[in-house]
Amino acid sequence: MNKEKVIVTTLDVVKNKKLEKTSISEITKKSKMSPGNIYYYFNSKNDIYNEVAHYALDEIKKELCKLKLTGNKNNDLFSLTKKLITFLEKRDEILFFLVSASGSSYLDKNLDAIKALGVYKQILLNDSNGNKDRKTMLKLRMFMSSLLEILYINEKEKKRNLSKEEIEEVC
């Protein structure tokens, strides 16, 4: 499907160039699609980025939902965090996009990481109604920002994944 090809290509381009420096022409060139074909699916670069963000959050949600939780919040938090870390290390194009997109003017303000954090909270706390306790959400935002930064720096500067001990320390 061409729409998904644009999304995957955009992730790849952003990984190498950052969000603010990526252009439609680079996306068209890398995807080997004409600009008209891209504009058939998307009205603007903002639309592309918002679709990429939805895709990234859906991929994270799918990965986290694979976990079987025990009901022990400490063990479950560790398992979720470890799963998230290994996913973002494996799918570093999503990591780089999320880091690049944080605070970006290109993205819909209602889209930010709150949706991913809400999923994280729902899974962890077994909160099916999505109650957004402000204190918990603030802690999760701080956690997610720190985690993305740790993974980004580790990948970009050290060119390696976290060790098992480092993952345990983060958890």
Per-residue model confidence as pLDDT tens digits over 88-117: 899 989 988 888 877 666 666 555 455 555
pLDDT of residue 11: 94
CA 150 to chain centre: 14
pLDDT at 148 over 90: no
pLDDT of residue 151: 84
Residue with the two structure tokens 């930064």: 149
What is the rounded CA–CA span in Å between residue 24 and residue 49? 11
What is the rounded CA–CA span in Å between residue 134 and residue 97? 26
pLDDT at 141 over 80: no
Tell me the two tokens of residue 143: 């956690």
Q: How many CB atoms lie within 10 A of CB 116?
A: 21
What is the rounded CA–CA span in Å between residue 82 and residue 118? 17
What is the rounded CA–CA span in Å between residue 50 and residue 127? 26
3-state secondary structure of 63: helix
What is the rounded CA–CA span in Å between residue 128 and residue 99? 28
H or E stretch at 7: helix 2-17
- Mean pLDDT for 11-17 is 89
pLDDT per residue over 122-140, tens digit each? 665 655 555 556 666 666 7
Global pTM reads: 0.78
Between 115 and 72, the more confident residue is 72
What is the rounded CA–CA span in Å between residue 155 and residue 115? 25
Residue with the two structure tokens 């990948």: 155
Between 137 and 49, the more confident residue is 49
